[in-house]
């Protein structure tokens, strides 16, 4: 089943096109990373597919339902905005109890506390929100977004402002939610987080999807030369010279050292052949590491 699909989805404000003919196809149960600089159109697209604003043209389906039937499945959608607003004099428990009633849920006291425990607020169940730190409010926002076990969950900067230990807990929770079949649409400025969590990633720029794919596909698309670091036994000057000659036709750059070398090739398919040259010359290889572009490098190099 497709969790979210858009077809030439467009939003214009006057002569300014904010979202320009976007096509997305997100399968159910995946963690989908949605990236872009501020002003790229990310929030506008999310606001369209969640029913907050109307598209100028194009169409979309959410959980198999077209735009005109969006209201019928809105209770199956969860949303965590970047900045959630709460009532200062309500406790964490009171908030979730209030929101579950709005959603016409019937969770017991124990079930509400379990959700708060999931996000790391088990020690603040009956603490008023005005005493919460920013990170605690972020956790409460996540709890609020999953209280009704949505099939599609939009998370906008879910770990911004929280401590390192809480980040790990939230990452585990995101994976757990996805494993239960919930599709997660994740936006984050933490590119390392997106790289670790997401099954597929789209990068938006000036209203258009500039690139999309798995990390493997993005690396293959944007990686040019491949740098290979090889740690090996100590080589004499004669062995270094012989090795460099044997690698000349395989590599575009060769730096042979006494016990470590750096080889640059144009294709990953050449790496086994490089390794074979070491084996043929009876050179023990202790480690071989290939440099791969990170999501941050790919993101920064896009025009």
Instruction: Chunk the chain into consecutive blocks of 10 residues (it has 303) and report each block's average pLDDT, rounded to whole numbers.
Output: 92 94 93 90 92 94 91 89 85 94 90 92 94 89 92 91 82 90 91 91 91 86 83 94 93 93 89 94 93 79 67
In a shared domain, residues 62 and 179: yes
Q: What is the pLDDT of residue 263?
A: 93
In a shared domain, residues 188 and 122: yes
In a shared domain, residues 202 and 239: no
In a shared domain, residues 157 and 260: no
In a shared domain, residues 190 and 279: no
Query: Last residue of some domain: 161, 186, 213?
Result: 213
Domain count, the chain: 2
The answer to whether residue 245 sits within a structural domain is: yes
Query: Last residue of some domain: 165, 182, 213?
Result: 213
All residues at 6 or more sequence positions from 84 whose CB lies less than 8 Å from its CB, including other chains:
137, 138, 140, 141, 144
In a shared domain, residues 269 and 139: no
**How many C-beta atoms surround the C-beta of residue 252 within 10 A?**
11
Q: What is the pLDDT of residue 300?
A: 74
In a shared domain, residues 153 and 192: yes
Q: What is the pLDDT of residue 157?
A: 87
Q: What is the pLDDT of residue 295?
A: 84
Q: What is the pLDDT of residue 272?
A: 94
Q: What is the pLDDT of residue 143?
A: 92
Contact 281, 246 (CB under 8 A): yes
In a shared domain, residues 202 and 263: no
Q: Tell me, what CATH number does 239's domain have?
A: 3.30.70.980
All residues at 6 or more sequence positions from 130 whose CB lies less than 8 Å from its CB, including other chains:
88, 89
Q: What is the pLDDT of residue 251?
A: 92
The answer to whether residue 301 sits within a structural domain is: no
Q: What is the pLDDT of residue 303?
A: 58
In a shared domain, residues 120 and 196: yes
In a shared domain, residues 192 and 230: no
In a shared domain, residues 282 and 184: no
Per the listing, tokens 């079930």 go with 111
Q: What is the pLDDT of residue 301?
A: 73
pTM recorded for the entire structure: 0.79
Distances in Å between the Cα of 218 and the Cα atoms of 23, 187, 267, 292 are: 18, 18, 15, 11
Secondary structure letter of residue 190 according to DSSP: -
The answer to whether residue 297 sits within a structural domain is: no
Query: Last residue of some domain: 192, 213, 234?
Result: 213
In a shared domain, residues 21 and 132: yes
Range of the domain at 130: 2-213
Q: Tell me, what CATH number does 191's domain have?
A: 3.40.50.300
């Amino acid at each position: 089943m497709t969790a979210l699909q858009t077809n030439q989805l467009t939003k214009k404000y006057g002569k300014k096109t904010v979202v320009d003919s976007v096509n997305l196809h997100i399968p159910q149960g995946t963690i989908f990373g949605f990236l872009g600089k501020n002003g790229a159109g990310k929030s506008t697209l999310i606001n369209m597919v969640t029913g907050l604003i109307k598209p100028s043209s194009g169409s979309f389906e959410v959980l198999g339902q077209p735009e005109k039937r969006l209201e019928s499945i809105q209770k199956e959608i969860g949303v965590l905005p970047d900045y959630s607003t709460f009532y200062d004099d309500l406790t964490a428990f009171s908030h979730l109890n209030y929101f579950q009633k709005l959603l016409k849920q019937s969770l017991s006291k124990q079930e509400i506390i379990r959700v708060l425990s999931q996000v790391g607020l088990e020690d603040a169940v009956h603490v008023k929100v005005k005493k919460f730190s920013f990170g605690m409010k972020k956790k409460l926002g996540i709890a609020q977004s999953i209280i009704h076990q949505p099939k599609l969950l939009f998370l906008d900067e879910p770990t911004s402002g929280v401590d390192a230990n809480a980040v790990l807990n939230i990452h585990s929770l995101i994976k757990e939610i996805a494993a239960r079949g919930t599709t997660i649409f994740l936006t984050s400025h933490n590119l390392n987080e997106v790289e670790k969590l997401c099954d597929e990633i789209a990068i938006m720029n000036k209203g258009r999807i500039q690139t999309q794919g798995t990390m493997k596909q993005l690396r293959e698309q944007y990686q040019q030369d491949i740098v290979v670091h090889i740690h090996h036994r100590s080589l004499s000057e004669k062995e270094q010279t012989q090795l460099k000659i044997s690698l000349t036709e395989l590599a575009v750059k060769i730096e042979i050292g006494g016990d470590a070398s750096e080889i640059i090739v144009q294709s990953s398919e050449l790496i086994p052949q490089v390794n074979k040259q070491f084996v043929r010359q009876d050179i023990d290889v202790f480690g071989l590491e290939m440099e791969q572009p990170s999501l941050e490098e790919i993101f920064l190099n896009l025009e």
